Amino acid sequence: MLGKSINDLVHTDEASLCDVLTSNCNEKKTFTLQAGRADKSAMLSLTFSHSVFRGQDCLKLEAIPASGNAQHRRKKQRRNSQDLLTKLENSDFFTSRIESAISCALQTKVISILLVIRIDKFKSLQETLGRSGSNRVIEDIGGFLKTAINKHFAASRLAENEFALLLFNTSMQEGHSLKEYLESRLAGAFSTCNTKAMPLHLSTGMSVINSKALDAEDMINRARLNTDHDSTPRNENIDLAALGETDFDKFKLVYQPLISLHADNTERYEVLIRYEDGNRQLLLPHRFLPQARLDNKTEDLDKWVISHVLEQAHYAGNNSRMLFIHVDGSTLANLNMLSWLSAKLKTFRVSTDQLVIQISESVFYNNKTIALEFCAGLRELGLGLSITKINNSLDPLPLLNQAKPDFTRLDKNLIQDCAYSVHQQQLVKKLINAIHYQEILVGVTEIEEFEMLPLLWELGLDIVQGNVFQAPDTEMQFCFPQKRDIML
């Protein structure tokens, strides 16, 4: 039917025309039509294609002036919308599809799912396999994704080592199941294929396109930032889907002191969020944050925490107290957060020296561009920055040099074997010295035994946090030690 004149069909009955348009509805059909008066007519190109509206299959009609060579124009459009290597949709064309899905979510409440799949350590893969070998891996993954799922979806190559799937009219639960399915299939299909000299590491992130979505860039960044292992919802997760923007009565703030091993006379507390269940038990973040990320609620939670902390700091008037607030990686996707934060600081007139924003190291590796932009904004506002969960296996020093934080916090796994391994002590001490060389204070958390404190002091740590001093409490009333009290 492609390119056939619609004049050949106008004399048929309505049922016959409907049959022509709906047969093989997944196949795009184009007709030409001569429209207007006999002396002033024009050729129109009518394209009918499959679409989904409010969860129902339908036909989409596009009417544009017919080109001189319609077949050439269609080939050109197809070429301009495809990635040259994989023949998947390119990022520009795919972005327009995401925008359409967002519009549908805002107007009809139909949810779609975006999955982003990244080849980790891609530079090392290229060095091992060469350009030709790494291109074959990309082609194989692209070919797999074209037929990976038996439902209506669009697939794209977003970047050199990054792919994406847009799953239309898909629930959050189904999206999570499809994410797990893809992860297992990709791991099985490509664990040895073309990469015998080097294992293939893939990360998969997910974002939900719902009424909280901002734009395509926002959704892509959220999916990239949601590749953390703790972003996976579990069965015991608390459902926050019905949570209103001001309905946070069940959330509580608790505080845990950060103790300086050198007693520098600064009171430091980490601000922690908890959820109060029906039994008045305070539940830890792993029970609600993964689901909040998928519901696009983490920004609301972070704003609620920061607003309460600034309000408390304003009324307390303790300028020597420093408060550490963790900001979730998904929140960084919306750069409007910095403008909001600036306005809040002006409203409460709190010294910027009192506030330190904490970001986990994994966030930088999931989306370094967004994270570094956010850090630059924090420096412009005069706020402190702490990078947490530093793991020596990821070589954190180049990142710290770029982000320029005031504090770092080592992953507890780096410390736990120091009591038994001299070799581990040497590795940790070398890392701490290298971080100190960049004039950054180094801390550690989750210390439970008093016997560890002399060793931590010998390693060169500046700040220690954990139940060995005090468990998280609803009040900030810890008696911080003075220099004369430090007896290690």
Has residue 238 been placed in a domain? no
Residue 362 has pLDDT above 50, yes or no: yes
pLDDT of residue 3: 43
DSSP H/E element including 428? helix 422-437
Has residue 244 been placed in a domain? no
Residue 216 has pLDDT above 60, yes or no: yes
Closest by CA position to 141, among listed 161, 121, 159: 161
pLDDT tens digits, residue range 445-469? 999 888 889 999 999 999 999 999 9
pLDDT tens digits, residue range 278-297? 788 888 888 888 878 877 88
Point out which residues pair with 45 in neighbouring strands: 32, 64
Is the domain of 392 the same as that of 259? Answer: yes
Point out which residues pair with 275 in neighbouring strands: 251, 283
Is the domain of 67 the same as that of 100? Answer: no
Return the higher-pLDDT residue of 373 and 319. 373
Is the domain of 308 the same as that of 425? Answer: yes
pLDDT of residue 271: 96
Has residue 443 been placed in a domain? yes
**pLDDT over 70 percentage in the chain:** 76
Relative orientation angle of helices 368-381 and 336-348, to the nearest 10 degrees = 20
Tally of domains in the chain: 3
Is the domain of 147 the same as that of 279? Answer: no
| Residue 86 tokens, joined | 């994989």
Three-class DSSP category at 52: strand
Give 225's pLDDT tier (boundaries 50, 70, 90).
confident
Return the higher-pLDDT residue of 44 and 185. 185
Give 32's pLDDT tier (boundaries 50, 70, 90).
low
pLDDT of residue 21: 54
CATH code, 281: 3.20.20.450
**pLDDT over 90 percentage in the chain:** 34
Has residue 131 been placed in a domain? yes
| Residue 5 tokens, joined | 């004149």
Mean of pLDDT over the chain? 81
Residue 34 has pLDDT above 70, yes or no: no
Q: Are 373 and 335 in contact (CB under 8 A)?
A: yes
Is the domain of 88 the same as that of 52? Answer: no
Has residue 232 been placed in a domain? no
What's the gap between Cα 198 and its chain centre? 27
Residue 154 has pLDDT above 70, yes or no: yes
Has residue 180 been placed in a domain? yes
pLDDT of residue 61: 75
Residue 266 has pLDDT above 70, yes or no: yes
Return the higher-pLDDT residue of 344 and 152. 344
Residue 487 has pLDDT above 90, yes or no: no
Has residue 390 been placed in a domain? yes
pLDDT of residue 402: 94
Final residue before a domain boundary, out of 64, 79, 94: 79
Final residue before a domain boundary, out of 174, 195, 227: 227
pLDDT of residue 30: 63
Is the domain of 300 the same as that of 441? Answer: yes
Has residue 239 been placed in a domain? no
Note down the domain range covering 201: 83-227
Three-class DSSP category at 95: helix
- 117-121, 216-220, 244-248: which has the minimum mean pLDDT? 244-248
Distance CA 396, CA 402 (A): 10
Ramachandran sector of residue 212 (left: φ over 0; alpha: ψ -120 to 50; beta: rest): alpha
pLDDT of residue 258: 95
Is the domain of 139 the same as that of 48? Answer: no
pLDDT of residue 1: 37
pLDDT tens digits, residue range 104-125? 899 888 899 999 999 888 888 8
Give the pLDDT mean for 323-338. 89
Residue 77 has pLDDT above 90, yes or no: no
Is the domain of 50 the same as that of 116? Answer: no
Is the domain of 119 the same as that of 190? Answer: yes
Relative orientation angle of helices 368-381 and 216-225, to the nearest 10 degrees = 100
Is the domain of 205 the same as that of 342? Answer: no
pLDDT of residue 286: 82
| Residue 165 tokens, joined | 């799937």
Is the domain of 68 the same as that of 89? Answer: no
Is the domain of 178 the same as that of 288? Answer: no
In the chain, the amino acid numbered 303 is K
Give 25's pLDDT tier (boundaries 50, 70, 90).
very low
